[in-house]
Amino acid sequence: MTIPAVGTLPLTIPHVVLVDHPGSGFTGNLTAIAAALQKQVQQHFAPFWGVSATVSAGTAPGPNDWVIGMFKDADQPGALGYHDETPNGLPLAKIFPLLDAQDGANVSTTISHELLEMLGDPYLTRAAQGPDGRFWAYEACDAVEQDEYEIDGIKVSDFVTPHYFEPPKVLTGVRLDFLGLVKKPFEVRPGGYMQWNRGTGWHQIFHQEQAPRAYRCREATRSGRRKLAPQA
């Protein structure tokens, strides 16, 4: 099933460039990661979300390119990576490979996570209202972020489908995430979390038995429009 690109989703296919900045601590092969992510976006993500991209590794992004950069020092405390916007309004993601290594995470999975969330909600404006009246942030990977799979030997992130946020009345045969692990809408998988808002700011919900690892709650310190409300 293809979901048309509407609302804040891009109406043209963006070009996403993976850039390794000096001293980032990244030791992998960005070209191989970009090739795997190209397959994930076009073959796995686009059929569900109705939005695609071209992905490459490079050092000199064009003025209209979306960038995912590898950096040494996190400018958001406790963040493996996050996505936001440039001053010119283009989606931007930052990845911190040294923190990935410290957390025991695969940096390629973190890149995949941020790429898919950039495509699903480029400008951090989308949310879906659940049956309890709460609005849930349209983050495609947070609920399943500890679940991953391989494409050509490269680890990539699982992701939820739009049906996770806007489910049909009959769920028989409906896939709520790519790997088929999620059993009900708004479910948070082990090691995952989600954000919700009921008019009092953004709050987090974690898996009851297995919370995210130390650096996984990236949104807790995001300075963008989904900054969390103080916890009671």
pLDDT-based confidence at residue 210 (cuts at 50, 70, 90): low
pLDDT of residue 222: 35
Task: Choose the weakest-confidence range: 13-22, 134-143, 208-217.
Answer: 208-217
What is the rounded average pLDDT of the residues 183-190?
95
* 149 has pLDDT over 80: yes
The pLDDT mean for the chain works out to 85
pLDDT of residue 55: 98
pLDDT of residue 229: 45
pLDDT of residue 232: 32
pLDDT of residue 5: 42
Question: Largest Cα–Cα distance of the chain, in whole Å?
Answer: 51
* 231 has pLDDT over 80: no
In a domain, 179, yes or no: yes
* 151 has pLDDT over 70: yes
In a domain, 204, yes or no: yes
In a domain, 60, yes or no: yes
In a domain, 177, yes or no: yes
pLDDT of residue 230: 40
Closest CA relative to residue 75, chosen from 181, 198, 223, 204: 223
In a domain, 70, yes or no: yes
CA–CA separation, 83 and 110 (whole Å)? 11
CA–CA separation, 90 and 81 (whole Å)? 17
Percent of the chain with pLDDT over 70: 82
CB neighbour list of residue 1: distance below 8 Å, 6 or more residues apart: 47, 48
pLDDT of residue 177: 98
In a domain, 198, yes or no: yes
pTM: 0.87
Identify the bridge partners of residue 63 per DSSP, sorted by sequence position.
none
The count of domains in the chain is: 1
In a domain, 231, yes or no: no
* 197 has pLDDT over 70: yes
Residue ranges making up the domain that contains 45: 15-221
Q: Residues 37-68: pLDDT tens digits?
A: 999 999 999 999 999 999 999 999 999 999 99
Is 195 in contact with 139 (CB distance < 8 Å)? yes
* 143 has pLDDT over 50: yes
In a domain, 228, yes or no: no
Q: What is the CA radius of gyration of the chain?
A: 16
